Amino acid sequence: MNRRERKKEETKGNIIRSAVTLFREKGFQETSMEEISEKADISKGTLYNYFQDKESILIAHFQSSIINHGSEFKASIKNIPGIEKRLNYLLDFASQILENNKDLATIYLRFRMQSFMDSNPFDNPQRSGLENLVFEVMKEAQENKEIKDDIPALILARSFHFLIRSYLISNIYPQEQLDIKILKEQLIGLFLNGAKI
């Protein structure tokens, strides 16, 4: 990375940190793009060169969290035996990222669900990056003959990614009759064994 690219990444990181600080202090809806530019000590024009709106900043925040913890995830998951335990760890990983940002995660998931069909959802630069981690888990499980290999790993990853969303929504909007640990086991069982009796 050359100096110019490094400077752009620093500016982008500064914008994200400034925005997240304001989102936590004032609330997402109450924070304006102008306030973000002031907090980041940049012009509004510079801010809009990086991000078109607050939602795109929020998405970048979660993408950054997944990227930052992704190498830790990859290192840890190599030591976990069996696809069932790895999927369990994957759900815990995704849940922990959102748990650390619960108020923002609610807004993030709502926005992602609303904008899901605006473009090809799997060719969208606003994806979180979690699907790539899921894909690696599926591909390795196929190579180890733990799951079917007649279905492309990408399709399996996408399918499990939808189950992850269901799990995360249940974590954010818990219902009294729903035990999250049991739900996690049920979703993994549904994925690995199907719903057929």
How far is C-alpha 96 from the geometric centre of its chain's CA atoms? 10
> Mean pLDDT, the chain, as a whole number?
87
pLDDT, tens digit, 9 for 90 and up, residues 158-180: 899 889 988 888 887 766 667 88
Summarize the confidence of residues 70-87 as an average pLDDT: 90
Predicted confidence at residue 128, as pLDDT, reads 62
Q: How far apart are CA 57 and CA 11, in angstroms?
A: 12
Q: How far apart are CA 163 and CA 157, in angstroms?
A: 10
Say which CATH topology domain 54-193 has.
Answer: Tetracycline Repressor; domain 2 (1.10.357)
Structural domain boundaries in the chain: 1-51, 54-193
Q: How far apart are CA 66 and CA 49, in angstroms?
A: 23
Q: How far apart are CA 36 and CA 38, in angstroms?
A: 5
Question: Between these two residues, 49 and 127, which has the higher pLDDT value?
Answer: 49
Say which CATH topology domain 1-51 has.
Answer: Arc Repressor Mutant, subunit A (1.10.10)
Residues 6 or more apart in contact with residue 161 via CB below 8 angstroms? 130, 131, 134
Which pTM value belongs to this model? 0.79
Question: Between these two residues, 175 and 38, which has the higher pLDDT value?
Answer: 38
**Lowest mean pLDDT, pick from 7-11, 125-129, 160-164:** 125-129
Q: Are 131 and 157 in contact (CB under 8 A)?
A: yes
Summarize the confidence of residues 179-189 as an average pLDDT: 89
Longest C-alpha distance within the chain, in Å? 60
Predicted confidence at residue 181, as pLDDT, reads 86
Q: How does residue 115 score in pLDDT terms, banded at 50, 70 and 90?
A: low
Residue 154 scores a pLDDT above 80? yes
Predicted confidence at residue 123, as pLDDT, reads 58
Q: Percent of the chain, pLDDT > 70?
A: 90
Structure-block tokens of residue 162: 């939808």
Q: How does residue 118 score in pLDDT terms, banded at 50, 70 and 90?
A: low
